[in-house]
Structure 1
Amino acid sequence: MNEAARALLLRLDRLRTTIAALVESRSADDPTAQDPLRGLYVSADTAARLAAAPMPAPPSPSPSQSQSQSPSPTEAGAAPTELPLDESELLFGPDDRLALLAGNFGLGELDELILLVALAPDVDRRFEALYGYLNDDVGRRRASVTLALDLAGTGPYDPVARGRFHPAAPLVAKGLVVLEDEERPLPGRALRVPERVVAHLLGDDTLDGQLGGWGVELLTPGGSAPDDGVAARIALAQRPVCVHLRERRAGSGADAVTLALRGAGRAVLRHRPVSTGHGEHTGHARHTDHNGHTDHAAVRALLREARLRGAGTAVVVELPDDQPGPLVRELAAPDVTVVFAGTQPYDPTWAPGAALLALEDTAVETDPLTAWSEELPSYEGDLAEAVGPYRLGAGQVRLAARGALALAGFEGVPVGLGHVQRSARLLSAPLLDRHARRVRPAVGFADLVLPAEPLGMLHELAGRARHRDRVLGEWRLRTGGGRGRGVVALFAGDSGTGKTLAAEVVAGELGLDMYVVDLSSVVDKYVGETEKNLEKIFAEADRTDSVLLFDEADAVFGKRSEVKSSHDRYANLESAYLLQRLEAFDGIAVLTTNLRANIDEAFTRRIDLIVDFPFPDVELRAQLWRSCLAGVPQEPGLDAELLRCAKEFDLAGGAIRSAGVTAGYLAAGRGGAVSAEDVRVGARREYVKSGRLVPGVGLAWTP
């Protein structure tokens, strides 16, 4: 038996002594004391006796005095519990968790005794029979309000004592005692102590199971001491503080503050939003009940857990995207350090009665490479190059690194680039499926056939995405005006020249998913709706890691026109919104257009790279034919025919690929290899599809 449990049993033994005296006092003048059916009914004689009894006068001794005057266990005839000899050291020493709890929760002597009376049946079942007798009902084996106050030397007629059960009183408001039987008057309501409180008083420090289902994680102290900055000042504060930390990117500030608190030797209760399970991430999913109201029980349990663990324990909460006010009001406690982190600006109406500090997280950004290095010390290769495209917080980095290690262990190989990219992609994948189509890249630079200049610019685009935090952040090359750290490129060229393929190659090189924006679901005929849809896409792309592709971007990034009608004015407003949004964009976006002149010049100024995709010449067309048919069986001498087709048929890369697919189907249909005739048929059909004259044939259809 641990010392905390022995201290609590000593208190209960003394309580049993007081109960024994009360039993003896009541049974002395109770004519039904020897009745074997006592408690199952109330006789007329008993009712008359109770009705004729005068109201008791309020006693003068305090609860502590009544305890000191109680007879010893031996005097009361009760068998004493086996306890250590030095009872006073346990009862009032560091192992007496009830005394420590009273200090952490701001309880008075009367509160402390009420709590002890209420939890007694949860520790020693003999109290059930005693309480059943004293309640005159063998079925009610928990202490009632009246019984608890009787044992404390007062009663429900005392307004001060009665006020200890008010919803705003510490016992009830802080989740230590639950009043049951709502239909009964207050004096008859039963008292129940949550199991987590009982377990804590017995020496159990396991996290409340209710909190685990609510997205709360207990993080023990550990790590390096915090450096100077906002996070360090929060962690080293001498008294509890309540802070709203506005994050530049979801999770960044919460991760930094959590690391600082743990480095300062403080335990952290970290609450992360959980998803609804319907394919959409909503930060308020588990903050509310089925009716959309704040889950008061879960919030009360979170603060109770922090208080049970002592003054050094802090709570870090990632705020929901929608209506965070109720959660802030519930958790803004003056005696617990609570940090609310979110991308929303601070609203004073969230918690008007709380002293809430509003801070920005510009100074609490952490170096994710340090966390990656700590988690993957055996990684072979350039770790900075591998993780550069990902903007994960320190907590997410640890999850991703452990996922990469688990994946490599499952495959039985050392952790490599593919493991890191796959694990990080799972954590950073945005939920854009409503307005965009996800493409999991399956191509690389080896699949691109381009001239040296555009190919080099694509490599540069990947490098910008990897090193933007260093160049724009550490080296301070980002201009002011609230500009983001996004990378935006424009791919211009004729249809079929490889613009979309190049975007997929860049995404694959960075280890990111590509999302192709579905313009049909974005553009809306109603004024302002297009901007709202675009904002949802940009906001989700800002907070996660992906490549956003606006194919045929002319539809939304076209030139502004002279205002001649209301339609022109609203179209120009849409362009103005996009110009402003690109300035603050933090993600990676690629715009494609068939005609560069269609893009407004104001957009081109905000674009980092413009890559022109030229129409392929003969040499490039020959390379495209060979690349397209590299994996198919070929008849001897096919390469010469590919070169002739490259000279005769003026086709772009997309058309050459379509012609190659046609040739493949023709060969598969007859069960043989691709022949020169198959290739020529495919090329002719692409010419006919585009309405062009087939060399030597005209417009005749070639079977």
Structure 2
Amino acid sequence: MSAPRPGSGPTAPLGLVCRGGADRAGPGPLWSDRDRLAAELAGLRSLVRGDGDGNGGDSDADSGTATSFRATVPSRLDRLAAACGLTEFERAVLVLAAGPELVAATADELLAHTGAPRLSFGAALAVLPGAHWSALTPLAPLRRWGLVRLLDPMSPTASPLMVDERVLHEIVGAGEPDATVAGLARPVPPVHELPPTLTAAALEVVTAWRAGTVALLTGPQPGTAWAVAGLAATSAHRPLLRLSGADLMGAGGDRAELLRRMDRETLLAGYGWAVDVDGLGGAEARVLLDQLSRLVGPVVVVGQVEASDLTGTPVRLPRLTAAERTAALAGALDQAGAGSAADPAEVARVAGVFDLDWDALPRVAAEVAGGEPLWSACRRAGRTAYGRLAQVRSAVATWDDLVLPALPRRQLGALCAAVRQRHRVLGDWGFADRGDRGLGTTALFSGPSGTGKTLAAEVIAGDLGLDLVHVDLSQVVSKYIGESEKHLAALFDAAEGGGAVLLFDEADALFGKRSEVRDSHDRYANLEVGYLLQRMEAFRGLAVLTTNARSVLDPAFLRRVHTVVAFPYPDAELRAALWRRAFPDAAPTDGIDPARLAAIDLPGGGIAAAALTAAYLAAEESSPITTRHVTEAARWELAKSGRTLAALPERRAGHA
């Protein structure tokens, strides 16, 4: 970030500028600025008339001189002159050029003594003390910062000078942000306190500003990033304006002018800039950041960017600890008046599962104050748009729908316990203090197709009251180098924040064994697997991966799995249980014998499909579902794998 002009004057930050009601009502800063400006203008008018020494002559100001006004608290004009590095001559040009707008008689005096009703550079060189030709140049402060403009650019010395409206309002004490900038920007609310983890990140941003570099604030939670930016601005005593990188890039040929106006706002009112670069490509982000790095004011870039490709100071936002999340959620509930209704143990349990954006906490608290259960409010707030990468499935299946031997059922129950008790084991019992790797819960469900692996994931999500996010591997895996990793990172980050159960069906497509490196494709494929293994180990949520071919999985992946649940091919006893659950209570059946149907060699998925097909056949005939319908449907199901249906055993005596 560059200075206005080396050696031309002070360039220290302006700090916060008061915009409150006290600046606009009655005697105070507004009238003080006007009086002092009028006194200074009176002295310059005396020079134009040739009847004074520039100190105000016989003006109405009590002090009699403009200099004595400057000896008090700095006015807006004083701050502007210091920030822009104006010489005394340049300051006088600015004030006298504004004269016709401030005091009507100024135009008459200029016309009478210089031949034009507005000041020109030529007249200023002849009339004002300390004149220097360099003030006319485009890179000198008056023109560089757009304080004045030439009405006739073809004649720099003879052209009338017009003070920009934004500058005119500023020096009389009624300044508002530049209309062009204000149309694209909005204030970042000041933040005065954050948890220690985020406070440390905000101080890193301030440190980057003090070093004169752009802060690259990255992390999976945009709302939290903006809160950190707000705290950094508060710590640096800066008002912060937020702009979209897409808007800046869309400005095209006008971008240079827009950036110049942003610079002027920093000089006039001390603004810093927060730019959202989400949605920009890497090349666009690099171009924009190069231009932002030349701004006078502090800049923080927020968004998912590859910091290694950009020039600046990377600041990676860490996730809050479980204790910090609990305290933050409890604080938000107290502020919303819902603290007394929230059980502390429930708050800790919820905070152990959901890692919400900072700006989502007030919304959650307001919903709880309105009667919404805390868990459901956090679940809704944590939902995110996965786009084409995954789908959120409704988890309606229950434990009664799951037919498994005792051991895998016990393992599935332990997975639910790992999520429910995460806050106690990791936080209260101190396991998280040993490091942040391997703290998540990753389960591998292995077994033949149709044995209930996906159904089990749905049961777990439903039991926990969490969303089931079914990953679409066809959209995740990309032929372009690095894209698969980006997609997986986005999925893991979103699921971790919202507490969702992440389901990868056919995981061997992602976590297959790393191969011998024969060419660059093998090398990048191995790097991809390596990245996924590391990201999975750092994942703090619940990830479920299913496979029909456990033997092809990378051994390093298996070492990082928290639980491996084997789903066996159902024997006759389990098949009978599956047939008993295959037809809902509302479905009309006649003579269905689960023990006889158990002889059909189908897994759970095949049995469910056959039951549904049999129901359609019966409905078409307007009859109950019978064994005939079921066997016909089962025959078709077996044919999918090239098998035929043997004769069913005879009905047992006495079976209805």
- Scaled by the length of structure 1, what TM-score is found? 0.68
User: What CA distance in whole angstroms lies between the structure 2 residues aligned with 1:646 and 1:190?
Assistant: 99
SS in 1 for 2:187: strand
Q: Deviations over 1:424-470 (max 9, x none)?
A: 213xx345x2xx34234443554751435434544555666684998
| Deviation (angstroms), 1:348 | 10
Check 1:633–1:178 CA distance in 2 against 1; reply closer, same or farther (3 A cut).
farther
Partner of 1:386: 350
Q: Does residue 634 in structure 1 map to residue 584 in structure 2?
A: no
Q: Is the 8 A contact 2:190 2:230 kept in 1?
A: no
Name the aligned partner's letter for residue 327 of structure 2: T
Q: Does residue 372 in structure 1 map to residue 322 in structure 2?
A: no
| Deviation (angstroms), 1:493 | 1.4
SS in 1 for 2:561: coil
Q: Does residue 518 in structure 1 map to residue 468 in structure 2?
A: no
Q: Which of 370, 377, 393 is equivalent to 1:419?
A: 377
Q: Which of 169, 189, 195 is equivalent to 1:219?
A: 189
Q: Is the 8 A contact 1:386 1:417 kept in 2?
A: yes
Q: Does residue 657 in structure 1 map to residue 608 in structure 2?
A: yes
Check 1:474–1:149 CA distance in 2 against 1; reply closer, same or farther (3 A cut).
farther
Q: Does residue 97 in structure 1 map to residue 93 in structure 2?
A: no
User: What CA distance in whole angstroms lies between the structure 1 residues aligned with 2:466 and 2:569?
Assistant: 28
Name the aligned partner's letter for residue 649 of structure 1: I
Partner of 1:44: none
Q: Deviations over 1:612-645 (max 9, x none)?
A: 2223345554554555543x6233x66x726346
User: What CA distance in whole angstroms lies between the structure 2 residues aligned with 1:358 and 1:193?
Assistant: 40
| Deviation (angstroms), 1:497 | 2.0
Q: Is the 8 A contact 2:408 2:567 kept in 1?
A: yes
Unaligned runs of 5+ in 2: 1-23, 650-656
Residues 451-466 of structure 1 aligned to structure 2 (within 5 Å): 451=404, 452-458=406-412, 460-461=414-415
Q: Is the 8 A contact 2:94 2:147 kept in 1?
A: yes
| Deviation (angstroms), 1:495 | 1.0
SS in 1 for 2:282: coil
User: What CA distance in whole angstroms lies between the structure 2 residues aligned with 1:470 and 1:106?
Assistant: 60
Name the aligned partner's letter for residue 443 of structure 1: V
| Deviation (angstroms), 1:676 | 5.8
Partner of 1:57: none
Check 1:296–1:122 CA distance in 2 against 1; reply closer, same or farther (3 A cut).
farther
Q: Which of 23, 35, 38 is equivalent to 1:10?
A: 35
Name the aligned partner's letter for residue 564 of structure 2: I
Partner of 1:43: none
Q: Which is worse superposed, 597-606 or 376-385?
A: 376-385
| Deviation (angstroms), 1:670 | 4.8
SS in 1 for 2:157: helix
Q: Does residue 610 in structure 1 map to residue 564 in structure 2?
A: yes
User: What CA distance in whole angstroms lies between the structure 2 residues aligned with 1:533 and 1:539?
Assistant: 10
User: What CA distance in whole angstroms lies between the structure 1 residues aligned with 2:264 and 2:349?
Assistant: 44
Partner of 1:575: 526
Partner of 1:594: 548
User: What CA distance in whole angstroms lies between the structure 2 residues aligned with 1:557 and 1:265?
Assistant: 47
Q: Is the 8 A contact 2:511 2:529 kept in 1?
A: yes
User: What CA distance in whole angstroms lies between the structure 2 residues aligned with 1:674 and 1:219?
Assistant: 64
Check 1:303–1:150 CA distance in 2 against 1; reply closer, same or farther (3 A cut).
same
SS in 2 for 1:419: helix
Q: Which of 422, 443, 449 is equivalent to 2:396?
A: 443
Partner of 1:552: 506
Check 1:460–1:202 CA distance in 2 against 1; reply closer, same or farther (3 A cut).
farther
Check 1:387–1:523 CA distance in 2 against 1; reply closer, same or farther (3 A cut).
same
Name the aligned partner's letter for residue 88 of structure 2: E
SS in 1 for 2:219: coil
Q: Deviations over 1:580-639 (max 9, x none)?
A: 442145546543221211223233223333222223345554554555543x6233x66x
Q: Which of 685, 689, 693 is equivalent to 2:640?
A: 689
User: What CA distance in whole angstroms lies between the structure 1 residues aligned with 2:239 and 2:416?
Assistant: 38
Q: Does residue 532 in structure 1 map to residue 487 in structure 2?
A: no
Q: Does residue 498 in structure 1 map to residue 452 in structure 2?
A: yes
SS in 2 for 1:611: strand
Q: Which is worse superposed, 514-523 or 221-230?
A: 221-230
CA RMSD, aligned part only? 5.0
User: What CA distance in whole angstroms lies between the structure 2 residues aligned with 1:494 and 1:222?
Assistant: 56
User: What CA distance in whole angstroms lies between the structure 2 residues aligned with 1:440 and 1:117?
Assistant: 70
Partner of 1:286: 247
SS in 2 for 1:539: helix
Q: Is the 8 A contact 1:550 1:591 kept in 2?
A: yes
User: What CA distance in whole angstroms lies between the structure 2 residues aligned with 1:357 and 1:92?
Assistant: 40
User: What CA distance in whole angstroms lies between the structure 2 residues aligned with 1:106 and 1:474?
Assistant: 57
| Deviation (angstroms), 1:648 | 3.1
Structure scoring higher RCO (CA < 8 A, sep ≥ 6) equals: 2
Name the aligned partner's letter for residue 361 of structure 2: A
User: What CA distance in whole angstroms lies between the structure 1 residues aligned with 2:579 and 2:179?
Assistant: 62
SS in 2 for 1:220: coil
| Deviation (angstroms), 1:99 | 2.0
Q: Which is worse superposed, 300-309 or 129-138?
A: 129-138
Name the aligned partner's letter for residue 349 of structure 2: E
Residues 230-269 of structure 1 aligned to structure 2 (within 5 Å): 230-231=200-201, 233-234=203-204, 240-242=210-212, 249-250=219-220, 254=225, 257-258=228-229, 260-261=231-232, 264=235, 266-269=237-240
Name the aligned partner's letter for residue 661 of structure 1: L
Q: Deviations over 1:349-401 (max 9, x none)?
A: 83xxxxx7666666998934433332233264523433444444xxx322x23
Check 1:243–1:495 CA distance in 2 against 1; reply closer, same or farther (3 A cut).
same
Aligned residues: 600
Q: Is the 8 A contact 1:241 1:334 kept in 2?
A: no
Check 1:106–1:333 CA distance in 2 against 1; reply closer, same or farther (3 A cut).
farther
Q: Which is worse superposed, 362-371 or 437-446?
A: 362-371
| Deviation (angstroms), 1:315 | 4.8
Q: Is the 8 A contact 1:375 1:402 kept in 2?
A: yes
User: What CA distance in whole angstroms lies between the structure 2 residues aligned with 1:18 and 1:89?
Assistant: 12
User: What CA distance in whole angstroms lies between the structure 2 residues aligned with 1:633 and 1:133?
Assistant: 101
Partner of 2:10: none
User: What CA distance in whole angstroms lies between the structure 2 residues aligned with 1:502 and 1:227?
Assistant: 37
User: What CA distance in whole angstroms lies between the structure 1 residues aligned with 2:315 and 2:440?
Assistant: 24
Check 1:198–1:504 CA distance in 2 against 1; reply closer, same or farther (3 A cut).
farther
Unaligned runs of 5+ in 1: 26-60, 74-79, 275-283, 351-355, 699-703
SS in 2 for 1:541: helix
| Deviation (angstroms), 1:345 | 7.0
User: What CA distance in whole angstroms lies between the structure 1 residues aligned with 2:431 and 2:85?
Assistant: 47
| Deviation (angstroms), 1:687 | 2.9
Partner of 2:16: none
